[in-house]
Amino acid sequence: MIGTTRRRNTMADAELVFVLIPASEFTMGSHRSHDRGAHDDEMPAQRLLVSDYFIMRHPVTNAQYARFMQETGHRPPLFWVDGLLPADKADHPIVGVSYYDAIAFCAWSAEATGLPVRLPTEPEWEKAARGADACLYSWGNEWKTGLCNTSEEMLNGTSPIGRYSPQGDSPYGVAEMGGNVQEWCSSLYGPYPYDPADGREAHVYDLHNRDLLPKLLETGCTSMPESNEAAVGKSVIRGGSWRETKFQARCAYRSWAAPMHRSDDTGFRCCYEPKE
């Protein structure tokens, strides 16, 4: 395993576990010669240099999100009956949360740890999923059943984190990247080639600003100021889910949604850059 883990007790019994993704170049996107079914928005493929960062080994779970709610009064996810954590699903990925809910969780975790916790950018997510060798899936170039929770598994819902580890993990030891839930990224959706200077990362919130946290938690973050670019943009969603097929489980697959969108197969995971 290339990645190394780091644990952060941000929430007492709901610990976040991060994996180090070391600095290196990787291939982002798809080559038609390598993946004939690739969508046009996955091309052209390009080599990108990504600096060191830590990313959560698993998506944020229901238990972790429940602790966040308890400490902040944040609104519950869309599908929690009476606002209560679903029975026997504490270790399942959180779903029914918007982009704003996700960044509120990140802001709260940043406040608790003193680390610049945030959502991963689109390149950070893809690199953690496929490694430096441009694999089609997290585990390699061939589809194999039983390595991730997609519709082929016929579970019709989320599964506990770790169910498909380590056999379905990425080269860095990051889990659940091919299925279970698709995940919010910080980036705005845009055409390739990826260029962080073209505005797709300009909306990312400064989580070092302590005045921001109350605004994110206010009335459940159903909206943000009109001047905020993300309020009217398309936020990137990455990964497959229990509802999607093996096609969406490919590491280069891209999707998007309005930042207010909440669904039963979309969650998130956090990342941060190490302090210098």
CA angle 131, 135, 141 (to 5 degrees): 145
Instruction: Please report, rounded to a whole number, the percentage of residues in the chain having pLDDT higher than 90.
Output: 72
Residue 255 has pLDDT above 90, yes or no: yes
Average of per-residue pLDDT across 18-35:
94
Q: Given pLDDT bands bounded at 50, 70 and 90, which one contains residue 87?
A: confident
Residue 121 has pLDDT above 50, yes or no: yes
Q: Given pLDDT bands bounded at 50, 70 and 90, which one contains residue 13?
A: very low
Q: Rounded to the nearest 5°, which phi and psi values hold at 153? A: -80, -20
Q: Given pLDDT bands bounded at 50, 70 and 90, which one contains residue 222?
A: very low
Task: For residues 66 and 124, give the distance between their C-alpha atoms in angstroms, rounded to a whole number.
Answer: 26
Beta-bridge mates of residue 237:
184, 255
Residue 157 has pLDDT above 50, yes or no: yes
Average of per-residue pLDDT across 109-131:
94
Higher pLDDT, 170 or 231: 170
Residue type, 8: R
For the chain, give the mean pLDDT. 87
How confident is the model at residue 218, as a pLDDT? 57
Q: Given pLDDT bands bounded at 50, 70 and 90, which one contains residue 213?
A: low
Q: Given pLDDT bands bounded at 50, 70 and 90, which one contains residue 11?
A: very low
* Omega of the bond leading into 166 within 30 degrees of 0 (cis): yes
pLDDT digits (tens, 9 = 90+) for 72-81: 999 999 999 9
- Report the interhelical angle of 99-113 vs 62-72 (nearest 10°): 70
Which domains occur in the chain, in start order?
Answer: 5-272 (3.90.1580.10)
